[in-house]
Structure 1
């Protein structure tokens, strides 16, 4: 079986910034592989195009430009929110929450979770960067397809890998 729509794929891989010698950003090894359902819109489209058709035992290496991956950082994703959004019910701010460089999860007006990095704060506002953490980076992927199998009925219904025992 080969990597195709709705197949359950297991991979080992690493992602590096810029190229094969770049900073290691993520690694999934044979002992802890990455499992996912291919072709259901949850992975980067350019990434899926690069592994489409591969069979177990086949390796891969490729670069994704920022435009193929998470885009360029946008000034529109730098937000200033009133500090009141970060207060608890007693109108206090937990000092461990507002730390420059720390990520927080916010809820957008459509109910979706948005991760943002705290840049700075003062008595009135908190400035956040909601760009993806990998925005602006060229990403180098190297890895191998470990296994490919048909999805179970439950996986097809949920459009995701469910693992052993569902």
Structure 2
């Protein structure tokens, strides 16, 4: 069976920064493979295009430019928030919260969770970077398809509900 919309794909992969010899960013191996439903909008579209039509026991390797992956960093995603948004119920700031380089979870105006990295702060303003952590990076993927199968009725129903 080939990878197509609504198939369940199990695969291994490595993703590296910049190319095949770049620093390893993430690995999913045979002991902890990655499993997902193909073609339902949950994965990077360019990533899925590279996997479309592959079969079990086939390998893959490809590179995605930032524009095809997580985009290029945007100044629009550098946020400044009043420091009082970081106060606890006693109107204090936990010293472990405001650490340069640490990620915090925010909620956007649509109620969606967004991770943002703390860049700096003072007694009034916290400056955060809400660009994706991999924005601006060229990503090199390599791996192997372990299994491709039709989605079960239950899996299709769960996808429709999610």
TM-score scaled by length of structure 1: 0.95
Number of the residue aligned with 1:163: none
Which whole-Å CA distance do the structure 2 matches of 1:157 and 1:114 have between them?
27
Q: What corresponds to 1:118 in structure 2?
A: 118
Tell me the SS of whatever aligns to 2:68.
coil
Secondary structure at the counterpart of residue 10 of structure 1: strand
Name the CA distance, whole Å, in 1 between partners of 2:111 and 2:60.
37
Deviations 1:82-138 (A, max 9, x none): 001100111010000110000010011111001000001111011000000000010
Quote the offset at 1:152 in angstroms: 1.4
Taking only aligned residues, the RMSD between alpha carbons, in angstroms, comes to 0.9
Between the aligned partners of 2:139 and 2:82, the Cα distance in structure 1 is 35
1:137 matched to 2:149? The reply is no
The residue aligned with 2:40 is 40
Partner of 1:63: 63
Give the secondary structure class of the aligned counterpart of 1:159. Answer: helix
Runs of 4+ in 1 over 4 A off after TM superposition: none
Count of residues in correspondence between the two structures: 160
**Residue number in structure 1 paired with 2:75:** 75
- For residue 23 of structure 1, what is the aligned residue in structure 2? 23
In structure 2, list runs of 5 or more residues that go unmatched.
none
The separation in 2 between residues aligned to 1:151 and 1:83, in whole angstroms, is 47
Q: CA deviation at 1:23?
A: 0.5
1:1-28: per-residue Cα shift (whole Å, max 9, x none)?
A: 1111000100100000110000100000
Which residue of 1 is the match for residue 14 of structure 2? 14
Point out where structure 1 has 5 or more consecutive residues left out of the alignment. 161-166
